[in-house]
Amino acid sequence: MIIEKGYIYHIYNQGNNRRRIFLIRENYLFFLKKIETYILPYADILAYCLMPNHFHLMVYVRELEVVPGRSQGFTPSEALTETGRSKGFTLSEALTGTGTRSFNHSIGIMLRSYTRAINKQHNFSGALFRKNTKAECLNCNNEIFPAFFSSDGATLGSNQVPEKQYPQVCFNYIHQNPVKAGLVNNAVEWEFSSAMDYAGLRNGRLVNKNLAAKSGLHLE
């Protein structure tokens, strides 16, 4: 993935061979904690949706490199503890407290650590996610946009949607995933997306609703 600071990205991946990545409710909640640990030090989350066999994140990237322990309030000695190891610190990162970790690397660690936990819990083996996580820039000024988004049952081509509309189209697309999959009748009924937060039905910690409002994003 090529990610630049200061832009909004749609980040997504799905189960290897379309297999389920969330089997029980606790798996969804566990992955949300992983997102908090590995994504928030780098980016503000504007929208998210976890589906049975894939996930979507819409983020505004603040940082490309951070010091892992320092960004999460860990001292080098604390990073060596069991809690620190659960955060994915390497031995060199823990000992020095100065090594930086890239956003791309942090996403990879998040997926690998989740895979290890799920494989152990459900007696699985092998890769849980597809090899390549995708990241599409929604407001870059390089005239390269996603080919399409499916919105309200219609396919919107790149030449039909101005640059400024892409974040809102993606915002809608992410939240409508459970409805289009037939899991719920209304987006706000799906527990594992940010729709409930934007509808005022929950006060979650993951999404930055103030930044979303400043970016012109709203639940439709």
Domain boundaries, the chain: 8-66+101-214
Task: Return the biggest CA–CA distance within the chain.
Answer: 54
Please give the average per-residue pLDDT across 87-116, as a whole number. 75
Please give the average per-residue pLDDT across 129-139, as a whole number. 92
- At 55, phi and psi to the nearest 5? -140, 155
Alpha helices in 57-208 (DSSP H): 68-71, 76-79, 82-86, 91-96, 103-122, 166-180, 195-198
Neighbours of 103 (CB within 10 A): 25
The reply to whether CATH 3.30.230.70 applies to domain 8-66+101-214 is no
Q: Is the pLDDT of residue 90 over 70?
A: no
Distance CA 25, CA 34 (A): 15
Neighbours of 138 (CB within 10 A): 25
- Say if pTM beats, i.e. exceeds, 0.85: no
Query: pLDDT tens, 3-39?
Result: 999 999 999 999 998 899 999 999 999 999 999 999 9
The b-or-e profile of 166-178 (16+ CB within 10 A means b, else e) is bbbbbbbbbbbbb
